[in-house]
Amino acid sequence: MKLTTRIRRYFMWRVCDISLRNIAPNVFTTSRPKSLQNNFYSLYFIDRDGITRFLASEMRPEGVSGKWSTSAANFHANAECSVPYEAFDHFVVDIHYHYRGWTFYTRGVPMFALQYVISYPFLRIYTERMIQALFNLRPLARRDRMKVLSYILRQTIKDPKFHAHSTSVLTHFYSARWVLRKDHLELMTYYGLLLDSLKHTGDLAAGDHGGYLMKPQALNTIAAFQREERRHRDNYKIQRGIFGLTVVLTLVGIAQAVTGGYQMWATYNKPPAISDRSKGQ
C-alpha cells in the first residue's frame, strides 16, 4: 500500500472518528430557539460520481456502519450496511455540523481538518453575534412609500409574478439581521401598514399567501412623484443660484463702500503741497 494512500485513509478515519463521537439524532430541529442547543454532526459519504450514497452512524472494527441510499436522498432503516476502511478511497466525506442554530457544510478531509483546528464554527458565530449586537444598537430609518413602491417595481420588472411581503421588504432594506432585533415586530407592523396603504390607493393588489402584486396604477404614482422631485430639485437649484448671486452682489457692494470710504479718508488727510508751505513761510 502506498504511503499517500495510508495517510489519506488515516485522516479520513480521524474525521469519521471525530464526527461520530457526537452524531446527530434521527430527528432534530433547525429552528430557533431549540436549535441553539444543537452540537452534533451528520456524516455522509459521496461516491466518485458526486452522489451521496451513505449516512454514517457508528465506527466499528471492520469499518463504518450506517445506511445506504440508492436515490441520494432517502436513507431507510432497512438499508443498513457497512463501508470497510479499505474502501475509503472510493468516497469523499461530506460533514454537516449543526452547532448553536447554525449548520456548517464541509466537503473533504482538508477543509474539515482546517476548520476543526482553528475552531471556525465558534469564531464565525462569535463574530456574527458581535456584528448583530452592533446592528441592534443602530437605529433603522424607516423607508417611505415611494422607496418601497420603487423596490416592488424593480422586482416586478424582473419577475412579473413577484409578491411583496413585509418580511421580504424588510430583508431587502435591512438584510436578514432585522429578525433578531427587539423591535422586529414593530418593523413588521409598520411595513405591513405601509403595504396596506399602497393597496388602498390602488398601487398594489392582494396576492397569494398574504402578498401584494403591483398594479399598473403604480407607474403613474411613481412618475408623478419623480416629476415632483425634479421640480423640487430645480427650485432648490434656482434658490441656491439666487442666494449665491445675492452673496456676490453683497460682497461687491461692501468692496465698493470700503473703496469709497478709503478714497474720502485719503483726500481729507492729504498733506499740503510744497509751494503752499513756502508761501506760508
Note whether 8 and 115 are same-domain residues: yes
In a domain, 22, yes or no: yes
pLDDT score, position 43: 93
In a domain, 242, yes or no: no
pLDDT score, position 274: 53
The residue out of 199, 217, 235 marking a domain boundary is 217
- pLDDT, tens digit (0-9, with 9 covering 90-100), for 149-174: 999 999 999 998 999 999 999 999 99
Distance of CA 193 to the CA centre of its chain: 24
Note whether 50 and 131 are same-domain residues: yes
Note whether 165 and 195 are same-domain residues: yes
In a domain, 226, yes or no: no
In a domain, 232, yes or no: no
Q: What is the CATH number of the domain that holds 195?
A: 1.10.10
Distance of CA 133 to the CA centre of its chain: 15
In a domain, 167, yes or no: yes
pLDDT score, position 235: 84
In a domain, 131, yes or no: yes
Note whether 25 and 120 are same-domain residues: yes
pLDDT score, position 18: 93
What's the domain count of the chain? 2
**Domain range spanning residue 180?**
145-217
Note whether 95 and 194 are same-domain residues: no
In a domain, 9, yes or no: yes
Taking the C-alpha atoms of residue 34 and residue 275, their distance in angstroms, rounded to an integer, is: 110
Note whether 189 and 103 are same-domain residues: no
Note whether 47 and 168 are same-domain residues: no
pLDDT score, position 131: 94
Note whether 132 and 207 are same-domain residues: no
Note whether 12 and 126 are same-domain residues: yes
Q: Which residues of the chain have pLDDT under 50?
A: 278
Taking the C-alpha atoms of residue 143 and residue 155, their distance in angstroms, rounded to an integer, is: 17
The residue out of 190, 217, 244 marking a domain boundary is 217
pLDDT score, position 219: 87
Cα Rg, the chain, nearest whole Å: 37
Note whether 54 and 179 are same-domain residues: no
Note whether 158 and 95 are same-domain residues: no
Cell of 221: 404614482
Rounded to two decimals, the pTM is 0.68
In a domain, 243, yes or no: no
Nearest to 129 by CA among 105, 100, 106: 100
The residue out of 194, 217, 240 marking a domain boundary is 217
pLDDT score, position 92: 92
Note whether 78 and 102 are same-domain residues: yes
